[in-house]
């Protein structure tokens, strides 16, 4: 019975615990996202220094995200996830014990970056696991469930938990509590997940395994559509990750409280996790490329601009700003079909293809804050907003060139006509 219910919603029962584990792990990873930057600036750092910290963190995420795809094939998903867990725990311990109390950037940057190396190896290795396990006709829905769990933990439950925990625990204890969620998630996803089939790629020698690591870069040049997909994925969440650096201060200048901002931020990602599922299904029916192009690229461009202009024109109107955040979060989910489209362009090298996509996801955590650090001083908040808006338009244009082989295009075209 359970198998039938889970199957109808696109989730195999053997992988269900993995989704739950990712949700808890990412909740621990993301509980500080909506408030850490203003906390740092109120304790001695400048906005530019905070942006530097988040940019270095994002660069580490990008490296680990790239490695996750190929390491999942070389070592197997479980081992790659264990390595990610270890890095996250060590980085968190040193960051909290030494880095934050001293506000010493020379300690904070490498330890927060080590923390950043951990979560992609954990979560994106599970995503690679999914792309091999899930049948092609259900792949869009399967990755939609992954992004539902990933975003639900990282950006929704983490934000809402912080809004309630901070007044009672304070900032430091709230950060320490992250380790509880990470440990719980890792236990569920790594050790309790039921899929025990052997889907690991076998290599005859260390040299052969190393060569496959390089495939995670060279495939972007061998198959340019995959490289373009990586660029589009980089743009996808760049604006969202940049917002956490400067939007809290902007929204509080407008007149919102920190709790209201965290709730608006939480609403953004609550909408996103719902539409991760919706656009996973829509992408399977209406075409992966069209979904990314119109709902993702064009939609995000519109609501990125609205994120600035609605509060600027209406003031601290909680309902209006929340509505814009909900729409922006929904459009971010329009990029979900990329996780089905890109590995389908290289079915014999899904891990390498996913490495490019994962690296794009990681680079977005670098690019978003880096844009703030470079341009906030010269262009102000409005200039940064328009840079993000332009990037989303570019991503929509790039998707014109990221298409499946003709036979698969015809199959999706048939699905489109049937849906209409």
Q: Full-prediction pTM beyond 0.75?
A: no
Per-residue pLDDT tens for 261-291? 888 988 998 898 889 888 878 887 888 888 9
* Residue-by-residue DSSP string for 146-188: HHHHHHIIIIIIHHHHHHHHHHHHHHHHHHHTHHHHHHHHHII
Count the helix, strand and coil residues of the chain and give each as a percent rounded to the nearest 5: 85, 0, 15
Q: Rounded to whole angstroms, how far apart are CA atoms 152 and 90?
A: 24
Q: Which residues, given as ranges, of the chain have pLDDT below 70? A: 1-14, 133-140, 193-210, 212-213, 404-420
b/e string for 362-396 if b means 16 or more Cβ within 10 A?
A: bbbbbbbbbbbbebbeeeebeebbebbbebbbebb
Domains and CATH numbers, the chain: 16-190+210-419 (1.20.1250.20)
Query: What average pLDDT does the chain have?
Result: 84
Q: Where are the strands (E) in 18-74, listed by range?
A: none
Do 90 and 144 meet the contact criterion of CB atoms below 8 Å apart?
A: no
Per-residue pLDDT tens for 25-79? 999 998 887 788 888 988 888 888 888 898 888 888 888 887 877 787 778 888 8
């Amino acid at each position: 019975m359970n198998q039938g219910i889970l199957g109808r919603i696109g989730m195999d029962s053997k992988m269900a615990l993995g989704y739950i584990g990712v949700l808890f792990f990412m909740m621990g990873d993301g509980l500080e996202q909506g408030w850490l930057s203003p906390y740092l600036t109120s304790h001695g750092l400048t906005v530019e220094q905070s942006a530097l910290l988040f940019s270095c963190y994002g660069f580490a995420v990008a490296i680990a995200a790239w490695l996750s795809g190929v390491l999942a094939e070389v070592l197997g998903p479980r081992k790659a996830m264990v390595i990610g867990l270890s890095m996250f725990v060590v980085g968190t311990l040193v960051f909290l014990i030494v880095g934050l109390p001293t506000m010493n950037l020379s300690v904070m940057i490498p330890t927060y970056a080590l923390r950043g190396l951990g979560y992609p190896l954990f979560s994106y290795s599970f995503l690679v696991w999914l792309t091999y396990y899930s049948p092609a006709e259900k792949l869009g829905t399967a990755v939609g469930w992954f992004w539902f769990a990933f975003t639900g933990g990282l950006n929704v439950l983490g934000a809402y938990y912080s809004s309630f925990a901070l007044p009672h625990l304070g900032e430091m204890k709230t950060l320490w509590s992250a380790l509880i969620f990470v440990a719980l998630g890792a236990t569920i996803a790594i050790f309790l997940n039921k899929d025990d089939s052997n889907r690991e790629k076998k290599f005859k020698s260390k040299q052969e395994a190393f060569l496959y690591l390089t495939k995670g870069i060279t495939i972007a040049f061998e198959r340019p559509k995959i490289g373009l997909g990586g660029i589009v994925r980089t743009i996808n969440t760049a604006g969202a990750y940049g917002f956490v650096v400067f939007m809290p201060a902007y929204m509080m200048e407008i007149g919102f409280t920190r709790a209201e901002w965290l709730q608006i931020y939480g609403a953004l990602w609550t909408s996103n996790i719902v539409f991760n599922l919706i656009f996973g299904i829509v992408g399977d029916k209406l075409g992966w490329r069209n979904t990314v192009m119109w709902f993702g690229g064009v939609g995000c461009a519109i609501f990125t601009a609205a994120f600035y202009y609605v509060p600027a024109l209406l003031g601290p109107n909680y309902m209006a700003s929340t509505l814009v955040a909900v729409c922006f979060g929904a459009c971010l989910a329009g990029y979900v079909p990329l996780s089905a489209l890109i590995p389908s362009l290289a079915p014999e090298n899904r891990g390498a293809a996913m490495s490019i996509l994962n690296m794009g996801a990681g680079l977005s955590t670098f690019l978003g804050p880096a844009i703030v650090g470079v341009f906030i001083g010269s262009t102000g908040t409005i200039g940064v907003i328009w840079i993000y808006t332009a990037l989303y338009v570019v991503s929509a244009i790039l998707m014109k060139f990221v298409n499946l082989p003709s036979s698969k295009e015809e199959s999706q075209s048939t699905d489109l006509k049937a849906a209409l």
